[in-house]
Amino acid sequence: MAGGAVPPGALLRAINALLMQRRYRAALAVLKGFRNGAVYGAKIRAPHALVMTFLFRTGSLREKLKSIAQATYTHSRNLAYFVFTYKGLMALQSRLQGKKIPFHSFFAACIGGWLVFGENNPINSQIVMYLLSRILFGLSRLAVEKGYVPQPKQDPFPLVAALVWGTVLWLFEYHRQTLQPSLQASMTYLYDDSNVWHDISDFLIYNKKPGSK
C-alpha span between 59 and 196 (Å, rounded): 22
Question: What global pTM score does this model have?
Answer: 0.78
Domain ranges of the chain: 18-118, 121-151, 154-196
**Res 3: pLDDT:** 56
pLDDT tens-digit profile, the chain (213 residues)? 455 677 888 888 888 888 898 888 899 999 999 999 999 999 999 998 998 888 878 889 999 999 999 999 999 999 999 999 999 999 999 999 999 999 999 999 999 999 999 999 889 998 999 999 999 999 999 999 999 999 999 999 999 999 999 999 999 999 999 998 889 988 998 999 898 888 888 788 888 877 666
What burial letters (b/e) apply to 72-109, b meaning 16+ CB within 10 Å?
Answer: bbbbbbbbbbbbbbbbbbbbebeeeeeeeeeebeeebe
